[in-house]
Amino acid sequence: MNTKNKELRHDRHTVSLLSDHIVFAPKYRGKILVDDVAMIAEGIICKTCAEMGIEIIEIAINPDHVHIFFRYPPKYSLSYIAKKIKGVSSKRLREAFPHLKEWCGDHLWAPSCFHGSVGNGWEVVSKYIETQDIHHAKNAIYRPRPYVRGL
């Protein structure tokens, strides 16, 4: 990872160092992000982020979910960023791949997502996203977790 990514962001009236790790999945956790769909999805997400002034540090497109680690300007809320990325990519992917529209209707992505604020743990998050392929290859067999009361 480039140390430049940790530099403060200087905007017109603010100085910031805001970063987030977001994870979201297709509707029904479908394994649809493969081959051309994954490649086009990454391009759409990167372009959408660039248009908003969001710097992607790491991105991983897995068959059933997406990880993005990014820096963002303080003028955007995290909910707005997620809504914009998911909305634009959903629309464009369904236009490019009509079979997705038949599969999921008007909404490609599940309504929820995970946000993890990243403080000084940049290297840890970056490494985690980089190694997603290895992580998911090891856990390819479904192993249900034991029920724990209260969780």
Span 108-141, pLDDT tens digits: 999 999 998 877 677 777 787 888 877 666 655 4
pLDDT reading at 1 higher than 90 = no
SS3 state at 67: strand
pLDDT reading at 146 higher than 70 = no
The tens digit of pLDDT for each residue in 3-54 reads 445 678 888 888 888 999 999 999 999 999 999 999 999 999 999 999 999 9
Cα angle 73-93-51, degrees, rounded to a multiple of 5: 25
Domains of the chain by start residue, with CATH = 9-138 (3.30.70.1290)
* The predicted structure's pLDDT at residue 121: 73
Helices 35-51 and 78-96: crossing angle, nearest 10°? 140
* The predicted structure's pLDDT at residue 2: 43
* The predicted structure's pLDDT at residue 7: 79
Residue 98 is given by DSSP the state H
Give the H/E segment covering residue 109.
Answer: strand 109-117
More confident residue, 105 or 38: 38
Cα angle 64-29-104, degrees, rounded to a multiple of 5: 110
Catalytic residue chosen out of the listed positions 28, 72, 76, 128: 128
* 9 Cβ contact list (under 8 Å, min separation 6): 15, 16, 17, 18, 71, 73
Q: How far apart are the C-alpha atoms of 41 and 39, rounded to whole Å? A: 5
pLDDT reading at 143 higher than 70 = no
Q: How far apart are the C-alpha atoms of 44 and 151, rounded to whole Å? A: 36
Cα angle 103-94-85, degrees, rounded to a multiple of 5: 115
Residue 71 is given by DSSP the state E
* The predicted structure's pLDDT at residue 139: 54
To the nearest whole number, what is the mean pLDDT of the chain?
Answer: 85
The tens digit of pLDDT for each residue in 70-103 reads 999 999 999 999 999 999 999 999 999 999 988 8
The verdict on whether 72 is a catalytic residue reads no
Q: How confident is the model at residue 142 (pLDDT cuts 50, 70, 90)?
A: very low
Q: How far apart are the C-alpha atoms of 54 and 114, rounded to whole Å? A: 18
**Residue 141's Cα: distance from chain center in Å?**
23
Q: How far apart are the C-alpha atoms of 124 and 129, rounded to whole Å? A: 9
